[in-house]
Amino acid sequence: MTDRELKLEEALTKILQWCLAYPTTMFTPLDDHQISEAGRALTNINIDIGALHAQWARHLLDGISKIAKEGLEP
């Protein structure tokens, strides 16, 4: 395996680890009712649940992007 291939494999391994960081065995998924209730609670303090989801998504994608960029560096 070339150094480049090793670097890419390392990046993919890190991305996989990042994706597995919140297992359902540790963090039980919310059901639709809980999500709806959370949305109402957030609305009461002027936070849009969509904006909160977008914030989390950006955090996750920023982490994955950083790993991918490191793996793709020459």
CB–CB of 66/15 below 8 Å? no
At 30-66, the pLDDT tens digits run: 999 999 999 999 999 999 999 999 999 999 999 999 9
Task: Give the separation between CA 69 and CA 15, rounded to whole angstroms.
Answer: 11
The domain in which residue 11 lies consists of: 3-72
What pLDDT does residue 38 have?
95
CB–CB of 15/67 below 8 Å? yes
- Domain count along the chain: 1
- Residue 27: pLDDT over 90: yes
